[in-house]
Structure 1
Amino acid sequence: MEKIIYLLVSLLFVNMAFAGVHPSKPWIEINYPQDQDKSWWNDAWWQQGQLPTPKNYQVTTEEITYNDDGVTVEGYVFKPIKPGKYPAVLFQHGRRGLDDLVLPRVKRLAARGFIVLAPDMYGTYMQSPMPIQHNEIYDKHVAKGIDVLLQRTDISSDKACVVSHTRGGYMTLKALVTHNRQINKVVCYVSYYPHWQDPNAPEVEQVYQYASQLNQLKVPTLVFIGEHEQYQRMRPIFLGIDILKNNGVPAELIVYPGVGRGFDFRMQSRTFADDLATKDANQRTADFINKHLR
Structure 2
Amino acid sequence: MNLPAQDAADRGRLIVQGADGPGIVASVSSVLARVGANIISLDQHSTDPAGGRFFQRTMFHLDGLPGRLTELEEELDKDLSALGLSYRLVEARKPKRVAIMVSKTDHCLLDLLWRQRHGEIPMNISMVISNHPDLGDDVRGFGIPFFHVPVAKDGKAVAEQEHLKLLKGNIDLLVLARYMQIISGEFIEELDVPIINIHHSFLPAFIGAGPYQKAKDRGVKLIGATAHYVTEDLDEGPIIEQDVVRVSHVQTTAQLQRRGADVERQVLSRAVAWHCEDRVIRDGNQTVVF
TM-score normalised by the chain length of structure 1: 0.35
Structure of larger gyration radius: 1
Higher-strand-fraction structure: 2
**What's the TM-score once normalised by structure 2's chain length?**
0.36
